[in-house]
Amino acid sequence: MRCLSLLIRWFILLISLSVLTACGITQGLRSSQVYRVRSGDTLYAIAWRYQVDYKTLAQWNGIRSPYIIHPDQELILVDPEFLPENRRPKNNSSTAATASVATKPRTVKSNRKAGPPPGEFRWPTEGKVVRHFKGSKSSSQGIDIAGQHGQPIYASADGRVVYSGSGLAGYGKLVIVKHSEDYLSAYAHNSRLNVKEGEQVKAGQVIANMGAAEQDEPRLHFEVRKQGQPVDPLKYLPER
């Protein structure tokens, strides 16, 4: 009887562990598929964080221009066609863009045909390139330009500011500018932001002042995204 009692206890313990493990896996999957909007977030910033085309993200979630979102709103980060009905946000559109399910780091490609870049980009600041682009799946998804603390940071092309803040981990004080339906640029690790969301900017306009990442020398981290995907900024900047 004693042996039988021990076997029953072990059996109950194994079932409990299996349930807990399954719950952990489910929660992990949910956290990789759904994002809860926080105060200060914009759709563009969330799309930037997860390397998704902002229009695709908006379509997945049934959000129309001007892409207004609210704190505590849940956004799905994958094609809703791959999710069960009860996992789709209530505000999700019945029509969805076709894309593959993605996990971090995401490389969700848009099914829209990309338009041409908005003319030639200008250099966003003076200084030497000290870190180069290494690919969309690497930790170096742009270029770093060394300089002096406080030196001016310029808009690389005409556009509209779609993010200005410090809510994206790893970017410090950040400005994101939308240049066209397909191209955006980002200016990170600033000491000061001189523009607000929704503001129209011209190429060469001062939008920020150079700062530095933690325990680092002053530098600008500059990125260009084409339909949500990081591309090498040096392919769009003029030689110098």
223 by Cβ neighbours in 10 Å (0-12 / 13-18 / 19+) ranks as buried
pLDDT at 13: 43
pLDDT at 36 over 60: yes
pLDDT at 190: 97
pLDDT at 25: 31
pLDDT at 1: 55
Instruction: Find where tokens 């020398």 sit.
Output: 217
Q: Considering the chain, what is the average pLDDT of its residues?
A: 79
| pLDDT band at 42; cut points 50, 70, 90 | confident
pLDDT at 95 over 50: no
Question: pLDDT tens-digit profile of 150-187?
Answer: 999 999 999 999 999 998 888 999 999 999 999 999 99
Centre a 10 Å sphere on the Cβ of residue 148 and count the other Cβ atoms it contains.
Answer: 13
Most confident of 10-14, 110-114, 139-143: 139-143
More confident residue, 214 or 144: 144
pLDDT at 31 over 60: no
Q: Please give the full DSSP string across 43-104, using - where no structure is assigned.
A: HHHHHHHTTB-HHHHHHHTT--TTT---TT-EEE-S-GGGS-GGGS-TT--S---------S
Q: Sign of dihedral through CA atoms 103, 175, 119, 148?
A: negative
pLDDT at 111: 59
Q: Write down all domains in the chain, each with its CATH number in brackets.
A: 1-110 (3.10.350.10), 129-235 (2.70.70.10)
pLDDT at 109: 52
**Nearest CA to 208 among 234, 188, 236?**
188
